[in-house]
Amino acid sequence: MKDKVALVTGAAAGIGRVIATRLARESAAVVVADIDQDGGAETVRQIEADGGRAALVLADVAVEADVQAMITFAEQRFGGLDILVNNAGIAPEPYFPEVEPGHWSRTLDVNLRGVMLGIQFGMQAMRKRGGGAIINISSMAGIGYRPYDAPEYAASKAGVVRLTAALGYLKEAGIRVNCICPGWVETPAVQHYLATTTPDKLVALDFPPPPVLIQPDEVAEAVIMFIRDNTLAGRVMLWPDGKPRQLIPVDAEH
């Protein structure tokens, strides 16, 4: 990935930070996009300490002007955009329908509209470079028909899945859009949640944690796979636990 430019949203911590640092180790220049200035700066520091190239841009993916600005930043700082990882996502309590629309609509704006804005403006930059790869980080919460305690989160992630498959045709223009749907990923936030939640409450969850959690570096490896394999477009990776992943073909009936 030498001479490639990547942008990762939500890269100030967790999965986003691990993806950003992995891309930098693969020799890509990385734009770290987040609303968390301190966390984003730490991600940049880690990349630079490892000999990589990175820069921070403060951006709220739910704000159109911010998304336009982060794409422009990538072009001005590193010369273009080749890789976009739409990772930013939220699921703040309380959940729909027990809260006012202004609260739950924020989840839809960040998790789904933010992805759509990133793709739309990211494509414009990628076309100048002859194409590119877009990887959307969704969730197993968006798959299936079971109940879920955060309906707006599940709906937004389901939207990302369908959006990805619907954009499979962009491969003809040299832009490949794919999606990863992990279940429980062992991030610091998840570790804290598991350590502070009683076993009976965990078992009662609509999607309880499995015995084997997915590691953040495994998600980063899947991102690398989607970037490198130029035959994949409109694909959705289903990944409920730390066991082998299932890759759904673009023409599958799901």
Query: Percent of the chain beyond pLDDT 90?
Result: 82
- Judge: domain 5-248, CATH 3.40.50.720: yes
Report in angstroms the alpha-carbon separations of 113 from 58, 60, 163, 184, 200: 18, 11, 11, 23, 35
Q: Which helix (H) or strand (E) holds 150?
A: none
Per residue in 19-36, pLDDT (tens digit) is 999 999 999 999 999 999
pLDDT score of 253: 46
Distance from C-alpha of 237 to C-alpha of 71, rounded to nearest angstrom = 26
Active site residue 153: yes
What pLDDT band is residue 101 in, cutting at 50, 70 and 90? very high
Rounded to an integer, what distance in angstroms lies between the CA atom of residue 252 and that of residue 185?
Answer: 26
pLDDT of residue 249: 56
In degrees, rounded to 5, the angle at the alpha carbon of residue 226 between the alpha carbons of residues 220 and 228 is 100
pTM to 2 decimals? 0.94
- Find the catalytic residue in 95, 148, 153, 193: 153
- Mean model confidence pLDDT for the chain: 93
Q: Over range 158-182, report the average pLDDT.
A: 97
The predicted model gives 52-62 an average pLDDT of: 98
pLDDT in tens, 172-186: 999 999 999 999 899
Let me know: does 113 contact 62? Beta carbons within 8 Å.
yes
